[in-house]
Amino acid sequence: MLFSISWRNIWRNKARSLVIIFSVALGIFAGVISGAFFKGMADQRIQKVIKTELSYIQVHNPGFEQTSDFANYISNAKELSDEIRLIPNVIGVSRRISIQSMAASAETASGVLISGVFPEDEETVTNISTKIIDGEYFKGIARNPVVIGKKLAEKLNVKVRSKIVITIQDMDNNITSGAFRVAGIYSTDNNMFDEANIYVRFSDIQKLTNFPANAAHEIAINIADNKDLPIILDEVKNISDNKLDVKTWKELSPEMNYLTEAMDMYMYIFIIIILLALLFGIINTMLMVVMERTKELGMLMAIGMNKIRIFSMIVLESVLLSLTGGGVGIIIGGLSAKYGETHPIDLSMWAQGYQQLGYDAFVYTQLDSTMLINITILVIATGIIAAIYPAYKALKNDPADALRIE
C-alpha cells in the first residue's frame, strides 16, 4: 500500500518528476557508456600487449631482464619448450634470442631490440604475422630475412627488399655485423613498439653470434584462456624446478595491470561525481514536495499515521524517482554499450596521438555486468540519502499548525 501511495505521489506533478527522471537517466547513461568505453579501451590495450608484444608467460634465466646479458641464456631451452608444449591448454611456445643492438640503413641507424625466432613457433604466441602491411612474413627473401615495424622503416628510409645491417656482440664478446634484407613490414598501431622491435630467424642470428643451438634467452608461452593462467604458471615453474624466472604478462608489464585497476577506479569516481550532482537536485525536489504537502502530511499524522510510515513514504518516493531515472539510464546506456561492442567508436581523427601511446583508433566498448549492479545500488543509495533531510523536515511539522495552513 505504501509503495502504491508513493508511486502515485510522484506523478502528482508530472513535469517536475519527469525533469528529475530525465536528469538522473542522462547522468547514469553518461556514466555507463563512458565506463564501457574506457574499459573497452583498456582491454584492447591489454590484449595488444599479450597477443602482440609479450604473450601470457615468459621464461628467462635469473637476472636476464635486468642486464640483458647476451651470455645469460637458458641452456636447455629446447627440452624445456618441448615439455611446456605438453601442458594442457598451452597453445603455443616459442624460443627466442633477444639482443639490444643497432640496425642501420644506408642513411641512418637506430637502436632496436632484435628477436631471433622460429617463424612457425612465433606465429603461435604473437600475431605479428597478421600485422604485415607490406611484403611477407619471412618469405620472399632466401638469405637473412628481417621483419621490421612501419615506424622503423620510415626512420631508416627502407622498404621491402632493402638491405639493413645489424651490429651485435657475439658469444666471444666480439663486435660482428650481418647484412639482412627486409622481407616484411608490420604495423601494430603502437609507434613505440614498431620503432624498437625487429624479428629475424633464430638460425640466422645463431650462426652470426655462435649462440648454442638448443639454448634461448626467452621462452614465450601462449595459453587458451586467461583463467588457466595460475595453473599453467605453476606447471611451468615445476618443470623448470623453480630455477628460472617465470612471469606472467602482469609481472612483465605491471603498468598494464595497473591500467585495469585505474580505469575501474576512475569509472566509479566519475559515476559518484555524477550522482553527487544529481543528489542536490533530488533533495531540492523532495524539499519542494514536502513544503507543498505540509497540510496533507499534518492531516495524515492527525488521523494516526505514525512518523515512521511518513518517513518511509517520503524516502520511498525519492528512491522510486531515482530508480526510475536510473533504470532508464542503465537500459539506454547498456544497449548503447552493447551496440558499441560490434560497432567501434571511431577516433581516427586523433589516431596519431593514440598510436603514440599504443591505443587503437577504433575502440570497442565492453559492458561489465558487475558495474551495472553496482550503479543500481549507488542509485538506490542516492535516493535514500536525498530523502533523509526532506523527510526529517516533514516530521518536524506540528500536526495542529500544519492543518491551519491554507
- Mean of the per-residue pLDDT values of the chain: 84
In a domain, 250, yes or no: no
Q: Does the pLDDT of residue 355 top 80, yes or no?
A: no
Place of cell 627466442: 96
Looking at per-residue pLDDT, the higher value among 149 and 275 belongs to: 149
Residues 138 and 194 in one domain: yes
260 and 239 share one domain: no
Region 24-50 average pLDDT: 85
Instruction: Give the per-residue pLDDT at 189.
Output: 80
All cell numbers assigned to 241: 624446478
For residue 87, pLDDT over 90 is answered with yes
Separation CA 74–CA 99 (nearest Å): 14
What digits encode the pLDDT tens for the residues 142-188?
A: 889 999 999 999 999 999 999 999 988 888 888 888 999 999 999 98
Residues 301, 178 share a domain: no
pLDDT of residue 44: 82
Q: Both 91 and 236 in a single domain?
A: yes
Q: Look at residue 106 in the predicted model and tell me its pLDDT.
A: 86
Torsion sign over Cα 369, 372, 378, 380:
negative
Domain membership of residue 116 (yes or no) is yes
The residue among 77 and 44 whose pLDDT is bigger is: 77
pLDDT at 352: 65
Same domain, residue pair 16 and 158: no
The pLDDT of 252-265, averaged and rounded, is 76
Kindly state whether residue 234 falls inside one of the protein's structural domains.
yes
- Please compute, for residue 135, the number of CA atoms within 13 A of its CA located in the half-sphere on the CB side: 26
Q: Choose the weakest-confidence range: 20-24, 85-89, 140-144, 400-404.
A: 400-404
Domain boundary residue, one of 194, 212, 243: 243
32 band by pLDDT with thresholds 50, 70 and 90: confident
DSSP states of 32-74: HHHHHHHHHHHHHHHHHIIIIII-SEEEE-TTHHHH--TT--B
The string of DSSP codes covering 113-171 is EEEEE-HHHHTTT--GGGGEEEE-SS-S-SSSEEEEEHHHHHHHT--TT-EEEEEEE-T
Q: How confident is the model at residue 14 (pLDDT cuts 50, 70, 90)?
A: confident
45 and 108 both lie in a single domain: no
Provide the pLDDT for residue 92. Answer: 94
Q: What is the pTM of this model?
A: 0.75
Percent of the chain scored above 70 by pLDDT?
90
Mean pLDDT of the region 186-201? 90
* 268 and 203 together in one domain: no
DSSP 349: G
Q: Is residue 386 part of a domain?
A: yes
The pLDDT of residue 294 is above 70: no
Quick one: 217 and 344 in the same domain?
A: no
d(CA 185, CA 160) in angstroms, rounded, equals 7
Domain with 43 in it: 2-49+256-403
Residue 60 clears pLDDT 90, i.e. is over it: yes
Q: Choose the final residue of a domain: 182, 211, 243.
A: 243
- 238 and 265 in a common domain: no
Residue 55 phi/psi, 5-degree rounding, is 80, 175
What's the pLDDT score for residue 402?
Answer: 47
Do 68 and 215 sit in the same domain of this protein?
A: yes
Query: How far is CA 4 from each of CA 289, 345, 394, rounded to the nearest angstrom?
Result: 17, 43, 20
**Bigger pLDDT: 48 or 219?**
219
Proportion of the chain above pLDDT 90, given as a percent: 33
234 & 328 share domain: no
Range 25-48 average pLDDT: 85
Asked if the structure places residue 216 within a domain, the reply is: yes
Is there a single domain that holds both residue 190 and residue 78?
Answer: yes
Question: Structural domain tally of the chain?
Answer: 2
In a domain? residue 251: no
- Work out the pLDDT band at 191, boundaries 50, 70, 90: confident
- Over its C-alpha atoms, the chain yields an Rg (Å, rounded) of 31
* Pair type for strands 163-169 and 175-186: antiparallel
The answer as to whether 317 is a domain residue is yes
- Domain assignment of residue 56, yes or no: no
Give the end of a domain, one of 211, 243, 275. 243
